[in-house]
């Protein structure tokens, strides 16, 4: 995947059994290919965030940011003082202590903070979330967002379309990058979001890519040999 042409890859700690050691190995592998490693943490929690940053993550996707307070909490956990309260560790990210000064000088600016917008409450407070200094952009979690209005996965429903329209309108007003997780591994769906102005796009996931090509090729094969 790191050789496939992506700009960034995300290690998901929210909906997987990946542990911290595995995350560090994946981060190092991604970086070895010159690709930016993001980590979606399992919770807006300073300890979880601190550990994956020390492992070398260059971007953090924080789930369920539903308010300005949630956004401030995330920024505070990710940035070193005076911009935040991240604790100092001497791990892989800091060259085990030998590169700490350089890392500390650059990390507050270089590490990207993405708030995941996946609840109608977040849409209702989106202007305040986007006004928080340090939030570099947001990304829609489409299934959870639609579920928060009682219509999970019904992306063509008028209520779901309405809250997405609100998201786009407010994001453009604040001139913050819009993001979306396109689940189906179909580049045409990605192009639709690009045309709509989305610039931070998560394209499917490893299991969907693998499962889709397996099923498609097996169907072709079965038609020939049956």
Q: What is the pLDDT of residues 97-112, one digit of tens each?
A: 999 999 999 999 999 9
Give the sign of the dihedral formed by CA 92, CA 98, CA 102, CA 104: positive
Task: Say what the pLDDT of residue 212 is.
Answer: 97
Q: Which residue has the tokens 């991604």?
A: 30
Domains and CATH numbers, the chain: 8-225 (3.20.20.60)
Task: Say what the pLDDT of residue 214 is.
Answer: 97
Per-residue pLDDT at 96 exceeds 90: yes
Task: Say what the pLDDT of residue 54 is.
Answer: 98
> Does residue 187 have an active-site annotation?
no
Tens digits of per-residue pLDDT, 163-218? 999 999 999 999 999 999 999 999 999 999 999 999 999 999 999 999 999 999 99
Per-residue pLDDT at 226 exceeds 90: no
Catalytically annotated residue among 15, 119, 181, 187: 15
Q: Which residue has the tokens 């580049």?
A: 187
Query: What's the mean per-residue pLDDT of the chain?
Result: 96
Please list, in sequence order, all residues whose beta carbon lies within 8 angstroms of the beta carbon of residue 166, skipping any fewer than 6 positions away: 123, 126
């Amino acid at each position: 995947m790191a050789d496939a042409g992506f700009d960034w890859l995300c290690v998901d700690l929210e909906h997987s059994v990946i542990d911290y050691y595995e995350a560090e190995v994946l981060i190092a592998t991604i970086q070895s290919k010159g690709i930016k490693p993001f980590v979606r943490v399992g919770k807006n929690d300073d300890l979880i965030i601190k550990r994956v940053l020390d492992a070398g993550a260059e971007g953090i996707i924080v789930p369920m940011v539903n308010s300005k307070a949630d956004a401030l909490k995330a920024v505070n956990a990710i940035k070193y003082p005076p911009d935040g309260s991240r604790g100092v560790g001497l791990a892989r990210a800091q060259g085990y202590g030998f590169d700490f000064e350089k890392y500390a000088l650059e990390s507050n600016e270089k590490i990207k903070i993405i708030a995941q917008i996946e609840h109608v409450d977040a849409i209702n407070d989106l202007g305040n979330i986007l006004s928080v200094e340090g939030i570099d952009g947001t990304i829609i979690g489409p299934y959870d967002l639609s579920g928060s209005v009682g219509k999970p996965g019904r992306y063509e429903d008028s209520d779901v379309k309405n809250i997405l329209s609100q998201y786009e309108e407010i994001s453009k007003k604040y001139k913050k990058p819009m993001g979306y997780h396109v689940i189906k591994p179909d580049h045409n769906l990605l192009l639709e979001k690009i045309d709509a102005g989305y610039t931070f796009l998560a394209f499917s996931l490893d299991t969907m890519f693998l499962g889709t090509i397996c099923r498609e090729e097996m169907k072709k094969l079965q038609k020939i040999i049956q």
